[in-house]
Amino acid sequence: MAAPMLRWCYLGRRWVLACIDGGSRHGRGAAIGFTSSRKRGQSSVAQQPLITAQKSRKGEHKWAAVVGLEIHAQISSNSKLFSGSQVHFAAPPNSLVSFFDASLPGTLPVLNRRCVEAAVMTGLALSCRINKKSLFDRKHYFYADLPAGYQITQQRLPIAVNGSLAYSVCAGKKPSQVITKTVRIKQIQLEQDSGKSLHDELRSQTLIDLNRAGVGLLEVVLEPDMSCGEEAATAVRELQLILQALGTSQANMAEGQLRVDANISVHHPGEPLGVRTEVKNLNSARFLAKAIDSEIERQIHELENGREILNETRSFDYKLGCTMPMRDKEGKQDYRFMPEPNLPPLLLYDTASLPPGADPQQVINIDWIRERLPELPSETREKLVQQYGMLPEHSFALLNEVGLLEFFQNVIKETRAEPKKVTSWVLNIFLGFLKQQNLAVNESPVTPAALAELLSLLDRKAISSSAAKQVFEELWRSKGKTPSQIVSEKRLELMQDEEALERVCHAVMEEHPQVVMDVKRGNSRAINKLIGLVLKATLSRADPTVIKEILEKKLSS
């Protein structure tokens, strides 16, 4: 079995980080691992997939896995790629279907400008070369949810080519040991989505919903530069963040706005690549890495047992945790590609090539879009590290959860507390509560303003940090109260009366002569026990540093 040698990049670790890592609630902002780069420029050579294999148990063969991805991202647009129908998730079946979407004879495609701009934006963000001329093609196959019998796509000359996507993975035992890797992007093409088939096995019929038919997709083709499930999952996650930052796709996997197919093969390093399989419909963040790794294991297992890998299409059975051949994809498909005759070539311009007097409504200027690109996740993370002295992995964590960065920034704006403190509270306590209750950031009962006030109280030592945690719990439970209200109601403010505190310290020392002896004998840890006891006696209302000072003074006297 090959499992051991792949384990280093296996699922487990990122769940260890779960308290500050994005979890997956209905796939929302689903985490597929975060890692960061300690050093810039420490990236792997993209063209040579990292060899992930270690010695197998027998210590004879090494295996390397090669993974390429085809990612379909639904374009976030009001209307479909070639028709005026609205785009909405979960609308009543067949309520968003134009004559063109239903392929009524005589209807013609009309290209949606917004979709083209989204493709150009995405291409630019992924450092692609934007083709100033691209073409549309028809890809033919019969399927009930493909009304025209063909899909309009960009097979010959896509809108963007030759880009790259940088992502970071854990490289060692500590989560902070990360390296940046790069996967080449072969192309980005515009194409139509299909409708949905709902198979009713009971009545042996298929129901068709064409709401999705004709929605614009960006197909992003990632070269086989990845070598395991986690790399693939992390690359997909980074792409997801980029699409969301650009606003070109909501990229929500649970709503099918981001769908992944993986091409997987294994071989011995130095030898030609093995026969590849395609694992289709990896539409859940949770199973993406798992499916790829289980397929890699399966292939190695097959080969080590003298069997062959078939060039076939498989799907991941999440219940069994392994991939299975797809029955209806048997046999080779010939898509009979043909140029789409109803759409002229798609021409784009830059400022230099813009025809004089061109109607801005009729032309798309690549430079204009480039100048207006929003900040990308990598830049945002870099800024966080620079501005707040944050650890890189914390910057990843902040971006990994939808809305968390904004929450963090709003807290920072309103509090006097140190950014480090804020980071720690947001990533540990706040996110921990969210995870525990399976809530999204925007569903949190605690507002940024409340947390900011709480941290300010903490910062000016009005409350102890353990009291702060109590206040936070109370904030979470009872909406509408301010931290100050809670502090005064629960009498959680720090004891400002030093004499009273001295009396408590004295009493504690009296009651625990053994501990006092330990301190005096040089057991430096014992003082912590005393501090704890004093804290307990003050119901956490005293500042541990002040307690320590008093105790030290008394002990040394």
Partner 1 sequence: MLGRTLREVSAALKQGQITPTELYQKCLSLIKKTKFLNAYITVSEDVALKQAEDSEKRYKKGHSLGDLDGIPIAVKDNFSTSGIETTCASNMLKGYVPPYNATVVQKLLDQGAILMGKTNLDEFAMGSGSTDGVFGPVKNPWSYSKQYREKRKQKPHGEKEDSNWLITGGSSGGSAAAVAAFTCFAALGSDTGGSTRNPAAHCGVVGFKPSYGLVSRHGLIPLVNSMDVPGILTRCVDDAALVLGVLAGHDPKDSTTVQDPVKPFTLPTLTDVSKLCIGIPKEYLAPELSSEVRSFWSKAANLFESEGAKVIEVSLPHTSYSIVCYHVLCTSEVASNMARFDGLEYGHRCDIDVSTEAMYAATRREGFNDVVRGRILSGNFFLLKENYENYFIKAQKVRRLIANDFVNVFNSGVDVLLTPTTLSDAVPYLEFIKEDNRTRSAQDDIFTQAVNMAGLPAVSVPVALSNQGLPIGLQFIGRAFRDQQLLTIAKWFEKQVQFPVIQLQELMDDCSSVFEIEKLGSVSLKQ
If the CB atoms of residues 102 and 398 are measured against partner 1, the closer one turns out to be: 102
If the CB atoms of residues 83 and 299 are measured against partner 1, the closer one turns out to be: 83
Q: What is the DSSP letter of 86?
A: B
Q: Which residues in this chain contact partner 1 in the complex, by CB under 8 A?
A: 99, 102-111, 138, 140, 142, 144, 147-150, 206, 208, 334, 336-338, 341-344, 362
Strands (E), 241-362: 258-267, 277-282, 313-317, 322-325, 338-339, 346-347
Q: How far is the CB of 46 from partner 1 (least distance, A)?
A: 30
If the CB atoms of residues 156 and 383 are measured against partner 1, the closer one turns out to be: 156
534: left (phi over 0), alpha (psi -120 to 50) or beta: alpha
Instruction: At 364, give phi and psi (nearest 5°).
Output: -115, 125
Q: How far is the CB of 94 from partner 1 (least distance, A)?
A: 10
If the CB atoms of residues 305 and 362 are measured against partner 1, the closer one turns out to be: 362
* Cβ 473 vs Cβ 481: under 8 Å: no
Q: How far is the CB of 92 from partner 1 (least distance, A)?
A: 18
Q: How far is the CB of 110 from partner 1 (least distance, A)?
A: 6
Q: How far is the CB of 142 from partner 1 (least distance, A)?
A: 6
If the CB atoms of residues 202 and 320 are measured against partner 1, the closer one turns out to be: 202
**Virtual torsion, Cα 542, 545, 546, 550, nearest 10 deg:** 120
Q: How far is the CB of 364 from partner 1 (least distance, A)?
A: 15
Strands (E), 285-424: 313-317, 322-325, 338-339, 346-347
If the CB atoms of residues 55 and 133 are measured against partner 1, the closer one turns out to be: 133
Compute the chain's Rg from CA coordinates: 29
- Which residues neighbour 321 within 8 Å (Cβ) at sequence distance 6 or greater? 290, 294
If the CB atoms of residues 361 and 524 are measured against partner 1, the closer one turns out to be: 361
Strands (E), 176-215: 178-192, 196-200, 205-209
Q: How far is the CB of 81 from partner 1 (least distance, A)?
A: 13
Q: How far is the CB of 206 from partner 1 (least distance, A)?
A: 6
Residue type, 289: A
Residue 280, strand partner residues: 315
Q: How far is the CB of 140 from partner 1 (least distance, A)?
A: 6
If the CB atoms of residues 33 and 195 are measured against partner 1, the closer one turns out to be: 195
If the CB atoms of residues 331 and 480 are measured against partner 1, the closer one turns out to be: 331
Residue 48 to residues 63, 164, 181, 234, 273: CA-CA distances in angstroms?
Answer: 14, 14, 11, 18, 12
Residue 263, strand partner residues: 68, 278
SS3 content of the chain, % helix, strand, coil (to 5): 35, 20, 45
* Cβ 30 vs Cβ 441: under 8 Å: no
Taking the C-alpha atoms of residue 127 and residue 373, their distance in angstroms, rounded to an integer, is 12
Rounded to 5 degrees, what angle do the CA atoms 59, 61, 65 make? 125
* Cβ 208 vs Cβ 344: under 8 Å: no
If the CB atoms of residues 12 and 357 are measured against partner 1, the closer one turns out to be: 357
Q: How far is the CB of 256 from partner 1 (least distance, A)?
A: 22
